[in-house]
């Protein structure tokens, strides 16, 4: 994905960033001192030159030695000062951008999930990386360059006027004449180089997409088409680059010509004064030196100005991310007064609209008790609001009306961490992280022992396939667990929930078909997990529903009926329809129940080993 371009903004946007410099006051002071010191030392070179020319060249050898040593001493002082300034300032740039990155991420992970529906992840990532990097270069180099140049600019101006008034006045008129065309061309070059960067980025994203979808490209035999299209992109980038380097070459050539013509004019005027004796050669030398410093100072400041504006744009976007507050307000660490053995949940008179759809209630006048230690199956057509119930139970959103009670306490009065620590969710699409098996199972409890992890895997019926992986529990699963089958991923997600041993279990049953064997394993693990635990399960299979203690039927955000399978088959027409059309395994005869002693539907002795299993 192509990152958004950073628009320039006004400099006050950079102010909040200054707050991040606060902890490093001492370094900041030291850097400023070094800056002042080097600026002063640089300016004194002009005087050194004057001494060298007037006394060193005119006097005897010892005067020359003295003048040269003076210059060497100044140069050494500048070297030390520059080293200190460069190190400290770059350090500050790196440090501040690291701190900003951390602060922004820290804020991001606590934000309400709704935020991420409104903001594209690509853009957030680009803020975390590109914007902070831009700020880092600004603080670490451009800003100090601007400061240093302004300092030397002012200093050199003053020194210039002290050295020779008449020539200074000529320069004051001449510098703009020389600089204006250079600045004008410089702008154009910069605009072209921005364009050229954009076109390189689009070449990159073009290639990225083709590589990502390489199978589609090859299976539709579009390799040549893609090559041709890519080549057009590359050529376009080259054409822009050629215009840029052409302008740039013109700029360099023109600048050299203008600067030296200007200098020649100055030397002509000054030289006449030296000949007539109204000015010494050293004075002229010093003067030329200061004039060059003024010119380059103006050039640097105007160059850096544009960058500062871009940095202000970046800062604005970062600070916006940093200041976004979660809509779910956390009352802080506050738990239930009593230990939760068998928690009971209740949704009470809830009306809820997703923030992005304020007019449309996802749940309406919804009340539902969830009994302690029992399992409740939610069934209903797609879009009925089943997943929304889960979102509210975990407090990813707050309902506009009504409340969710945990053992009689409104969950808004509990600490978010405490509330969520009582709950584990097994989502419809198992979410695995890049890492190994152990890391993924122990995600909720990184301190779990290997034995505990293995026990959880066993309970999830995952241990057999894990042990058959090349590195067992240390096997890497690839990005988002791509190296596992769908059923294996689900069992890893189950093991993660089991390891957390939550008092409340939320299961969103996968709708996608698993092969019979995997399905059987997952089902069996589920039933064991549900025993004596407060469980809510969004069920798509009759076999799951039959194992639930109670069933709630939802439709269009409302509770339609509750009861057992037999009751609902008699009383609820929607349930009958769902049973005949939607439940994936509606023939009870085929049902893999997974209870001990019942036949194993796959015909394989156990685990995953089938006729094709290796070794």
Residues forming contacts to ligand ATP in the complex (CB under 6 A) are: 117, 354, 356-357, 362, 380, 382-388
Separation between Cα atoms, residue 459 and residue 7, nearest integer Å: 54
Separation between Cα atoms, residue 252 and residue 478, nearest integer Å: 51
Q: Which tokens belong to 101?
A: 């990155």
Tell me the number of residues near Mg ion by CB under 5 A: 1
Residues 59-118 that bind Mg ion (CB under 5 A): none
What is the three-class DSSP state of 377?
strand
Question: Least CB distance from residue 145 to ligand ATP, whole Å?
Answer: 47
The interface partner of residue 385, options being Mg ion, ligand ATP, none and the CB cut-off 5 to 8 Å by kind, is ligand ATP
The interface partner of residue 388, options being ligand ATP, Mg ion, none and the CB cut-off 5 to 8 Å by kind, is ligand ATP
Residue closer to ligand ATP by CB (options 357, 595) is: 357
Q: What DSSP line would sit under 460-474, residue for residue?
A: TT-HHHHHHSTTGGG
Question: Least CB distance from residue 502 to ligand ATP, whole Å?
Answer: 21
Residue closer to Mg ion by CB (options 387, 401) is: 387
Question: Least CB distance from residue 553 to ligand ATP, whole Å?
Answer: 11
Strands of 401-406's sheet in order across: 361-370, 345-353, 401-406, 409-410
The interface partner of residue 380, options being Mg ion, ligand ATP, none and the CB cut-off 5 to 8 Å by kind, is ligand ATP
Of 471, 582, 465, 473, the C-alpha closest to 522 is 465
The interface partner of residue 117, options being ligand ATP, Mg ion, none and the CB cut-off 5 to 8 Å by kind, is ligand ATP
Own/partner pairs for 558-563, CB < 8 Å, 24+ apart? 558/363, 558/364, 558/365, 558/366, 559/366, 559/367, 559/368, 560/380, 562/368
Residue closer to ligand ATP by CB (options 219, 382) is: 382
Separation between Cα atoms, residue 45 and residue 42, nearest integer Å: 5
The interface partner of residue 174, options being Mg ion, ligand ATP, none and the CB cut-off 5 to 8 Å by kind, is none
Question: Least CB distance from residue 351 to ligand ATP, whole Å?
Answer: 13
CB-neighbour burial class of residue 592 (10 A; exposed 0-12, middle 13-18, buried 19+): buried
Separation between Cα atoms, residue 230 and residue 240, nearest integer Å: 16
Separation between Cα atoms, residue 49 and residue 67, nearest integer Å: 8
Residue closer to ligand ATP by CB (options 117, 410) is: 117
CA distances from 395 to 358, 367, 391 (A): 18, 16, 6
Question: Least CB distance from residue 117 to ligand ATP, whole Å?
Answer: 5
With binding defined as CB under 5 A, does residue 195 bind Mg ion? no
Question: Least CB distance from residue 366 to ligand ATP, whole Å?
Answer: 11
* Strands 401-406 vs 550-555: parallel, antiparallel or unpaired: unpaired
**Residue closest to Mg ion (Cβ):** 387
Residue closer to Mg ion by CB (options 389, 495) is: 389
Residue closer to ligand ATP by CB (options 284, 353) is: 353
Residues 374-393 that bind Mg ion (CB under 5 A): 387
Question: Least CB distance from residue 398 to ligand ATP, whole Å?
Answer: 14
What is the binding site for Mg ion (CB under 5 A)?
A: 387
């Amino acid at each position: 994905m192509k990152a958004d371009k950073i628009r320039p903004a006004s400099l006050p946007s950079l102010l909040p960033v200054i707050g991040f410099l606060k902890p490093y006051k001492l370094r900041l002071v030291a850097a400023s001192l070094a800056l002042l010191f080097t600026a002063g030392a640089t300016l004194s070179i002009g005087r050194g030159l004057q001494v060298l020319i007037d006394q060193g060249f005119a006097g005897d050898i010892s005067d020359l030695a003295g003048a040269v040593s003076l210059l060497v001493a100044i140069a050494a002082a500048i070297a030390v000062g520059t080293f200190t300034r460069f190190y400290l300032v770059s350090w500050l740039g790196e440090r501040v951008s690291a701190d900003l990155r951390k602060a922004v991420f820290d804020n991001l992970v606590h934000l309400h999930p709704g935020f991420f529906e409104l903001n594209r992840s690509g853009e957030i990532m680009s803020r975390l990386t590109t914007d902070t990097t831009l700020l880092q270069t600004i603080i670490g180099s451009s800003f100090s360059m601007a400061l240093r140049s302004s300092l030397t600019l002012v200093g050199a101006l003053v020194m210039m006027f002290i050295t020779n008034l008449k020539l200074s006045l000529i320069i004051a008129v001449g510098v703009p004449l020389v600089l204006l065309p250079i600045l004008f061309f410089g702008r154009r070059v910069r605009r072209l180089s921005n364009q050229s960067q954009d076109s390189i980025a689009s070449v990159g994203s073009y290639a990225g997409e083709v590589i990502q979808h390489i199978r589609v490209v090859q299976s539709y035999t579009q390799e040549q088409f893609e090559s041709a299209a890519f080549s057009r992109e590359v050529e376009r980038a080259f054409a822009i680059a050629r215009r840029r380097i052409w302008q740039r070459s013109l700029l360099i050539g023109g600048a050299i010509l203008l600067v030296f013509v200007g200098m020649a004019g100055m030397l002509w005027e000054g030289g006449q004064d030296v000949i007539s004796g109204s000015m010494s050669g050293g004075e002229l030398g010093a003067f030329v030196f200061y004039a060059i410093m003024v010119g380059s100072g103006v050039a640097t400041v105007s160059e850096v100005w544009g960058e500062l504006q871009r940095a202000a744009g970046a800062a604005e976007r970062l600070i916006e991310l940093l200041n976004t507050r979660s809509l779910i307000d956390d009352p802080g660490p506050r738990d239930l007064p009593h230990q939760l053995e068998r928690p009971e949940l209740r949704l009470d008179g809830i009306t809820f609209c997703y923030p992005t759809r304020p007019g449309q209630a996802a749940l309406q006048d919804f009340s539902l008790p969830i009994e302690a230690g029992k399992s409740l199956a939610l069934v209903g057509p797609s879009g009925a609001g089943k997943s929304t119930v889960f979102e509210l139970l975990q407090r990813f959103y707050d309902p506009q009306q009504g409340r969710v009670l945990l053992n009689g306490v409104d969950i808004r009065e509990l600490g978010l961490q405490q509330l969520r620590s009582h709950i584990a969710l097994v989502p419809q699409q198992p979410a695995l992280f890049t890492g190994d098996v152990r890391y993924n199972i122990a995600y909720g409890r990184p301190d779990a022992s290997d034995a505990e992890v293995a026990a959880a895997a066993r309970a999830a019926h995952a241990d057999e396939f894990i042990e058959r992986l090349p590195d067992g529990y240390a096997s890497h699963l690839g990005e988002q667990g791509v190296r596992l089958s769908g059923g294996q991923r689900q069992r890893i997600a189950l093991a993660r929930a089991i390891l957390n041993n939550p008092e409340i279990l939320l299961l969103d049953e996968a709708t996608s078909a698993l092969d019979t064997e995997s399905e059987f394993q997952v089902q069996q693990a589920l039933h064991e997990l549900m025993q004596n635990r407060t469980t809510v399960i969004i069920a798509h299979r009759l076999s799951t529903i039959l194992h639930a203690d109670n069933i709630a039927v939802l439709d269009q955000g409302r509770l339609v009926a509750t009861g057992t399978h037999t009751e609902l088959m008699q009383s609820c027409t929607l349930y009958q329809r769902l049973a005949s059309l939607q439940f994936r395994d509606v023939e009870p005869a085929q049902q893999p129940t997974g209870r001990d002693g019942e036949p194993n539907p796959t015909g394989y002795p156990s685990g995953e080993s089938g006729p094709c299993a290796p070794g």
